[in-house]
């Protein structure tokens, strides 16, 4: 049994992670602002992680074997966490994102189209940090999501006081009613209605991961792995927007309709006109075995279709 703290953990794969940790027999503490409580038997600290004094007061004398940070979006948040958990945990795992590799958001090493991107293309040990940017402004933070994640990784990687690992997640799908982004529902709804999906002239492939597989990988990174640095988390198999639409269409029984737009023009989710699909070679070398996207995608589509037709609870 390990003592594990999850920051966030109230929804989607974060909640699945908490459930997996609890089932595995670990002693789990969840820190969030209280919008959704954790499962019974999980210690719950209701506090705003951005309030350093309140966070320290809530933590008290608690120590942990591992911290899994699901909701770190800026270097300011990372710096607060680094100070709060220094000497309080031996390992810190941050959930990061494929978006750190998006060439539209930073000057990055170029990668040939179709070549999966390795972790070293964004090195948190050398990535510049700018704490004086308006990270507290929600609109700025949302517009600079990828850069916020890169800089958060950089702060935690250099913090010292604990071993640090960043799990860079591919685009997450599945979960039905748990899936809150609506990106897969965009496809199911439009294909079922015979409405056009907007795609680029030459869409490039990307990578995906099922929400339950990501929870399992985070469990592994927290409790079984002793690696440090970034690791990419994606199921096997590249897939472009037309392949995704075809998988959705196969479940619905209706051919997709496309509206083609030029490179540089906004399009439907997962239609990419630039290359940043990830490589999962490092995670495999460390011992993690991934599923194949083509194996779980039909089930994820079916979950989304079921969620769309489920009756809503009556209001009282």
- Extract the tokens encoding 164: 């640090």
Q: What is the pLDDT of residue 181?
A: 80
- Percent of the chain residues past pLDDT 90, beyond the cut: 84
Does the residue 87 lie in any domain? yes
Residue 316: pLDDT band (50, 70, 90) is very low
Show the domain range for 137: 3-175+207-236+278-290
Does the residue 126 lie in any domain? yes
Which of 149-163, 208-222, 247-261, 294-308 is the least confident region? 294-308
Q: What is the pLDDT of residue 146?
A: 98
> How much is the mean pLDDT over the chain?
93
Instruction: Check pLDDT > 80 for residue 255.
Output: yes
Model confidence pLDDT, tens digit, residues 201-233 = 999 999 999 999 999 999 999 998 789 999 999
Higher pLDDT, 47 or 37: 47
Whole-structure pTM value: 0.94
**Domain CATH code at residue 84:** 3.40.50.720
Does the residue 300 lie in any domain? no
Q: What is the pLDDT of residue 207?
A: 97
3-class secondary structure for the chain? CCEEEEECCCCHHHHHHHHHHHHCCCEEEEEECCCCCCCCCCEEEECCCCCHHHHHHHHCCCCEEEEEECCCCCHHHHHHHHHHHCCCEEEEEEEEEHHHHCCCCCCCCCCCCCCCECHHHCCCCCCCCCCCCCCCCHHHHHHCHHHHHHHHHHHHHHHCCCEEEEEEECEEECCHHHCCCCHHHHHHHHHHHCCEEEEECCCECECEEEHHHHHHHHHHHHHCCCCCEEEEECCECCECHHHHHHHHHHHHCCCCEEEEECCCCCCCCCCECCCCCECCHHHHHCCCCCCEHHHHHHHHHHHHHHHHHCCCCCCC
Model confidence pLDDT, tens digit, residues 110-168 = 888 778 999 999 999 999 999 999 999 999 999 999 999 999 999 999 998 899 999 99
Does the residue 214 lie in any domain? yes
Does the residue 190 lie in any domain? no
Instruction: Check pLDDT > 90 for residue 64.
Output: yes
Does the residue 255 lie in any domain? no
Does the residue 86 lie in any domain? yes
Does the residue 299 lie in any domain? no
31-46 per-residue burial string, b: 16 or more CB within 10 A, e: under 16:
bbeeeeebeeebeebe
Q: What is the pLDDT of residue 177?
A: 66
For the chain, how many structural domains are there in total? 1
Q: What is the pLDDT of residue 311?
A: 55
Instruction: Check pLDDT > 80 for residue 178.
Output: no
């Amino acid at each position: 049994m390990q003592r594990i703290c999850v920051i966030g953990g109230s929804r989607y794969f974060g909640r699945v992670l908490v459930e997996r940790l609890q089932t595995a027999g670990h002693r789990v503490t969840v820190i969030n602002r209280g919008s959704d409580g954790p499962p019974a038997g999980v210690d719950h600290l209701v506090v705003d992680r951005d309030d350093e004094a309140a966070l320290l007061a809530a933590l008290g004398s608690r120590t942990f074997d591992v911290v899994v940070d699901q909701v770190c979006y800026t270097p300011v948040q990372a710096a607060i966490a680094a100070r709060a958990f220094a000497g309080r945990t031996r390992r810190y795992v941050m959930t990061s994102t494929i978006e750190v590799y998006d060439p539209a958001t930073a000057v990055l090493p170029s990668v040939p189209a179709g070549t999966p991107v390795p972790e070293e293309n964004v090195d948190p040990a050398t990535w510049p940090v700018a704490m004086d940017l308006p990270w507290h402004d929600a609109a700025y933070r949302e517009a600079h999501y990828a850069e916020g994640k890169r800089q958060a990784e950089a702060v935690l990687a250099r913090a010292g006081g604990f071993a640090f690992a960043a799990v860079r997640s591919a685009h997450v799908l599945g979960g039905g009613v748990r899936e809150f982004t609506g990106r897969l529902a965009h496809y199911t709804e439009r294909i079922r209605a015979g409405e056009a999906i907007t795609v680029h002239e030459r869409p490039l492939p990307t990578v995906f991961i099922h929400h339950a597989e990501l929870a399992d990988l985070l469990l592994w990174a927290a409790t079984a792995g002793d690696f440090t640095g970034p690791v990419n988390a994606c199921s096997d198999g590249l897939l472009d927007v037309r392949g995704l639409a075809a998988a959705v269409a196969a479940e619905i029984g209706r051919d997709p309709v496309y509206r083609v737009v030029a490179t540089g023009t906004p399009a439907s989710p997962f239609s990419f006109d630039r290359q940043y699909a990830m490589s999962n070679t490092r995670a495999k070398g460390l011992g993690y075995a991934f599923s194949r996207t083509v194996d779980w995608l039909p089930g994820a589509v079916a979950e989304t279709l079921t969620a769309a037709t489920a009756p809503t609870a009556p209001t009282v």
